[in-house]
Amino acid sequence: MNSRQRDFATAAGYFSRLEPFYTERGWNLVGTSMLQLHAKCLKELERRPESIRVLLELIARAVTIEKGVSSRLRGDRVLPHGSEEVQGQTSLCIDDELFSVDGYVSDLAAYSRNLSYEIRCP
């Protein structure tokens, strides 16, 4: 493993530990940003099974965010995952930050194409 790969491996380890810390405390934008960086590190390291899990989580978050934004635009009172109601107002902790999943979907398809076993995510 060369020094560049070691740097990505070290960064991937940090992101895997720090992302849940921030997300569990309601810092969803920070957590999602770390998850995106974690996915980039795993891609560089060609760690496909781990990449699939992280990409699925990113896609799930994008869907949750989009669902929440769409619900609010329609005037629904549905609280998306990661939201909380404070004094009658719905507050998305992600600050309505939308991100594109286009690259994630194509990477996910490429990684899973030759996978010999099933990967399940909660």
Show the tokens assigned to 41: 């590190």
95: helix, strand or coil:
coil
**pLDDT tens per residue, the chain (122 residues)?**
788 889 999 999 999 999 999 999 988 888 988 999 999 999 999 999 899 999 999 988 888 877 766 666 666 655 544 554 444 444 444 444 456 677 888 898 888 887 888 877 66
Beta carbons of 99 and 36 less than 8 angstroms apart: yes
Residue 25 DSSP code: T
pLDDT digits (tens, 9 = 90+) for 55-66: 999 988 888 877
Structural tokens at position 103 = 């690259």
